[in-house]
Amino acid sequence: MKRIAMIGLSAVLLAALAACGGGAADNEKKTLNVGATQVPHAEILEHVKPQLEKEGIQLKIKVFQDYVLPNKAVEQGELDANFFQHRPWMEATNEEQGWHLKKVTGVHIEPMGAYSEKIDKLSQLKDGATVALPNATSEMTRVLLLLDKEGLIQLDNRKGDKTLKNIEENPKKLDFKPLEAATLPRVLDQVDIAVINTNYALQANLDPQKDALFLEDSDSPYVNILAAKEGNEDSEAIQKLSEALNSPEVKKFIEKKYKGAVVPAFD
């Protein structure tokens, strides 16, 4: 009888431990690790944290200062998702690195702009002026299309990826300096113009609406997206984050906080 009682007690204890273990696993599943650049992505994620907590999801945000590591971390499973990039960048890095990231949803557009500490308007730009721009292929394509639209250069055509070799006409003989995107605000005093991603401009306390010599149109195809590794994009937690990022509350938050420097890309 004692032996039977001990077996029964052991079974109860094992069941209790299993229940505790299952609870821990459930809690772990409800933790969502997302990488982002600081402005505006991490700020927007912070805004949706309380909503996700109500739905049983603990959102943990890891801030990055570059455009490569957030994708690598998702590919390697260190993060569940990231929010910092547009689709052309994601697809280019997938192709270059053999990664498998997928778009979950579009959130906003950050119109890229040209900034200067030496001139106040584009008509003041002198022949031979130095122009700093991002060195990554998809970002350089975006900038060259913008410069072409502003009439500073003429490209051979407006299709596909572009490099400096695709410049057909350069009437002002501009001197182009490709640099890492994050460094562009720091070289403003060393160049005549720098074409800067809005997230880095905002981090440098530049106001795109007031300080930019010119900006992309709001119909830019470069919508910033929530991305996850293929096979994980439809998980319940990521879909709840997607819904939160596309909510009316987030739209109001973006419009009020960024005042046109960041534009919602959803209805």
* This model's pTM is above 0.85: no
Q: Which residue has the tokens 């720091």?
A: 186
Alpha-carbon distance of 258 to 198, in angstroms, equals 11
Alpha-carbon distance of 104 to 242, in angstroms, equals 7
Alpha-carbon distance of 121 to 177, in angstroms, equals 20
Q: What is the pLDDT of residue 221?
A: 82
How long a stretch of residues is the chain?
Answer: 267
Alpha-carbon distance of 178 to 196, in angstroms, equals 11
Query: What residues does 264 pair with on adjacent strands?
Result: 108
Give CA 230 to chain center in angstroms.
Answer: 18
Instruction: List pLDDT tens digits, range 97-151.
Output: 999 999 999 999 999 999 999 999 999 999 999 999 999 988 999 999 999 999 9
Sign of CA dihedral 60, 51, 239, 266: negative
Alpha-carbon distance of 91 to 19, in angstroms, equals 42
Instruction: List pLDDT tens digits, range 20-73.
Output: 433 334 445 589 999 999 999 999 999 999 999 999 999 999 999 999 999 999
Give CA 68 to chain center in angstroms.
Answer: 11
* H/E stretch holding 163: none
Instruction: List pLDDT tens digits, range 232-267.
Output: 999 999 999 999 999 999 999 999 999 999 999 997
Alpha-carbon distance of 262 to 239, in angstroms, equals 23
Three-state secondary structure call for residue 80: coil
Q: What is the mean pLDDT of residues 85-95?
A: 95
Sign of CA dihedral 214, 220, 73, 27: positive
